[in-house]
Copies of this chain bind each other. A is one copy, B any other.
């Protein structure tokens, strides 16, 4: 696992702050891989192979594995094992529970799976976050402002919007330096507000591509002196080739999609004088 400094160095090395989301949807995986659990696993590992020159992080989405029960978990374990150890693995699990239970989830992700980071929901408060940040050399990625339309239902609740309250209180949690925050790219102007509360933290930013956000807008409002951003793309990379594409065509299209995003990122890093 990487410190913030180590992560920044990896970002400079690759000229990219791309996180590739591994959401293996059986309805979208090219038929060449097969649509069973073995095909899903092979597809994920092929995506890692294709995009590795452009990615500093991978984010497997646990739901797509859990839907296959124990068999899916075993595939997830092998996918995580297949990701080189010098890139960050973020288990996108959005777990949120307290005390002893939270510690078990943290063990499942950090020790069982061997992930470097896990996404966590803040609803239950400090008790549901600190069991994760207690793990040395691991990142806890707390939901703050998500990219979905109904984020406004509760994340904007209150005179000070809840997502700002989450960012503010999180700074006082134990081992707060092990926190990153999820902030959606669909609301790039709000990144400036997020930076008022969390000036230096790394932000994991979904919503680029299929959901409408752009790398340039995110970089404009979110970049810090140590980059401070991981921008995630899932569907736009994974399913760049059609359902009927061959394995080779699929790898090529996904590599190109990742490269295009990485080029935007390189431009943004250069403009900020970070390369």
Enumerate chain A interface residues (CB-CB to B < 8 A). 23, 25, 61, 63-64, 66-74, 77, 94-102, 104-105, 107-108, 111-113, 121-128, 143, 146, 148-155, 157-159, 162, 165-166, 169
Contact = CB atoms under 8 A, between A and B. Distances in A.
A105 B150 CA distance: 18
Given A157-B165, A162-B162, 13 more contacts: A23-B100, A67-B104, A67-B108, A68-B112, A72-B108, A73-B73, A94-B96, A94-B97, A98-B148, A124-B150, A125-B151, A154-B162, A154-B169
Contacts of A146: 98, 123-124
Q: Which of A64, A153, A155, A165 has the most CB of B within 10 A?
A: A153
A123 B69 contact: no
26 contacts: A23-B100, A23-B101, A63-B101, A66-B73, A66-B105, A66-B112, A67-B104, A67-B111, A67-B112, A69-B113, A70-B71, A70-B73, A73-B73, A94-B95, A96-B96, A98-B148, A121-B121, A122-B123, A123-B146, A123-B155, A124-B151, A124-B155, A125-B148, A125-B154, A154-B169, A158-B158
Copies of this chain in its oligomeric complex: 2
